[in-house]
Structure 1
Amino acid sequence: MNTTEQTPRDASRSVVVGMLFVGLLFFILGFVTWLNGSLVPFLKIVCGLNNFQALWVTFAFYIAYTVMALPAAAVLARIGYKKGMTLGLGIMGAGALLFIPAARSTHYELFLAALFTLATGMTLMQTAINPYIVQIGDRDSAAMRISIMGLFNKGAGVVVPLVFSSLMLADIDSFSHTALATLEPAARDAMRATLAERLVFPYACMAAVLFVIMVFIHFSNLRDIPPDADDATANVERTGVLQFPQLVLGALALFGYVGVEVIAGDTIGLYGHELNVANFGVLTSYTMVCMVLGYVVGVAAIPRYLSQKGALMVSALLGLVLTIGVATGSSQSSGIAQVLLGWSGVPLVPDTVMCLALLGLANALVWPAIWPLALQGLGRYTAAGSAVLVMAISGGAVLPLLYGRLSDASGPQAGYWLMLPCYAMILWYAASGHKIRSWRGAGRA
Structure 2
Amino acid sequence: MNTTKKSNLLPIVMMILLFGMISFVTNLAAPMGVVVKSQFGASNFLGMLGNFANFLAYAFMGIPGGKLLEKVGYKKTALLAIIIGFVGVGIQFFSGVAESFFVYLLGAFVAGFSMCLLNIVVNPMLNTLGGAGKKGNQLIQVGATFNSLTGTLTPILIGMLVGVATKDTAIKDVNPVLFIAMGVFALVGLVLYFVNIPEPHIIKDGEVKEKSAYSAWSFRHFVLGAIGIGVYVGIEVGVPATLNLFLADAKAGGLDATTAGFVTGTYWLLMLVGRFIGASIGGKVSSKSMLIVASSVGMILAFMAIISPTSTTVSIPLFQSGTSGISFGLANVPINAMFLVLIGLCTSVMWGGIFNLAVEGLGRFTAAASGIFMTMVVGGGILPLIQNAVADNMGYMVSYWVPFIGLAYMLYYSLIGSKNVNQDIPVE
Is the shorter-chain TM-score for this pair beyond 0.5, marking a shared fold?
yes
The match for 1:145 among 139, 146, 149 is 139
- 2:137 pairs with 1:158: no
Aligned partner letter, 1:120? F
Going from structure 1 to structure 2, the CA distance change for 1:79 and 1:300 (only over 3 Å counts) comes to same
**Offset of residue 390 of structure 1:** 1.2
The match for 1:362 among 346, 349, 355 is 346
Q: Retained in 1: the 8 A contact 2:263–2:318?
A: no
Q: Retained in 1: the 8 A contact 2:272–2:348?
A: yes
- CA distances 1:285-342 after superposition (whole Å, capped 9, x unpaired): 11111111111210121232x211100100110111011012111312234x45999x
Q: Retained in 1: the 8 A contact 2:313–2:334?
A: yes
Counterpart of 1:276 in structure 2 is 254
Counterpart of 1:324 in structure 2 is 303
Counterpart of 2:266 in structure 1 is 286
Aligned partner letter, 1:300? S
- 2:381 pairs with 1:400: no
Q: Retained in 2: the 8 A contact 1:143–1:368?
A: yes
- 2:276 pairs with 1:296: yes
Aligned-pair Cα RMSD in Å: 2.4
Q: Name the CA distance, whole Å, in 1 between partners of 2:345 and 2:137.
A: 16
**Offset of residue 391 of structure 1:** 1.4
Aligned partner letter, 2:290? A
Helix, strand or coil at the partner of 1:267? helix
Q: Retained in 2: the 8 A contact 1:102–1:108?
A: yes
1:343-358 equivalences under 5 Å are 345-358=329-342
Q: Retained in 1: the 8 A contact 2:30–2:48?
A: no
Q: Name the CA distance, whole Å, in 2 between partners of 1:340 and 1:207.
A: 28
Q: Name the CA distance, whole Å, in 2 between partners of 1:122 and 1:286.
A: 23
Going from structure 1 to structure 2, the CA distance change for 1:424 and 1:196 (only over 3 Å counts) comes to closer
After TM superposition, the score normalised by the length of structure 2 is: 0.89
The match for 1:22 among 15, 33, 39 is 15
Q: Name the CA distance, whole Å, in 2 between partners of 1:284 and 1:236.
A: 47
1:11-410 equivalences under 5 Å are 11-140=4-133, 141-166=135-160, 168-170=161-163, 172-173=164-165, 175=166, 180=167, 191=168, 195-226=170-201, 237-274=212-249, 275-278=253-256, 279-304=259-284, 306-335=285-314, 337-338=315-316, 345-410=329-394
Q: Retained in 1: the 8 A contact 2:227–2:376?
A: yes
Q: Mean Cα displacement is larger for which, 274-283 or 141-150?
A: 274-283
Q: Name the CA distance, whole Å, in 2 between partners of 1:114 and 1:399.
A: 21
Q: Name the CA distance, whole Å, in 2 between partners of 1:284 and 1:330.
A: 19
After TM superposition, the score normalised by the length of structure 1 is: 0.86
Q: Retained in 2: the 8 A contact 1:99–1:199?
A: no
Unaligned runs of 5+ in 2: 204-209, 320-327
Going from structure 1 to structure 2, the CA distance change for 1:136 and 1:280 (only over 3 Å counts) comes to same
Structure with more strand by fraction: 2
Report % sequence identity. Answer: 24
Unaligned runs of 5+ in 1: 1-7, 181-190, 229-234
Aligned residue-pair number: 406
**Offset of residue 281 of structure 1:** 2.5
Q: Name the CA distance, whole Å, in 2 between partners of 1:63 and 1:24.
A: 24
- CA distances 1:121-143 after superposition (whole Å, capped 9, x unpaired): 11111111110111112222111
Q: Retained in 2: the 8 A contact 1:88–1:121?
A: yes
Aligned partner letter, 2:394? S
Going from structure 1 to structure 2, the CA distance change for 1:88 and 1:40 (only over 3 Å counts) comes to same
Q: Name the CA distance, whole Å, in 2 between partners of 1:371 and 1:97.
A: 31
**Offset of residue 425 of structure 1:** 1.1
- CA distances 1:171-217 after superposition (whole Å, capped 9, x unpaired): x35x2xxxx4xxxxxxxxxx45xx33224454244324312321221
Q: Name the CA distance, whole Å, in 1 between partners of 2:382 and 2:264.
A: 20
Going from structure 1 to structure 2, the CA distance change for 1:395 and 1:348 (only over 3 Å counts) comes to same
**Offset of residue 163 of structure 1:** 2.1
Q: Name the CA distance, whole Å, in 2 between partners of 1:383 and 1:196.
A: 38
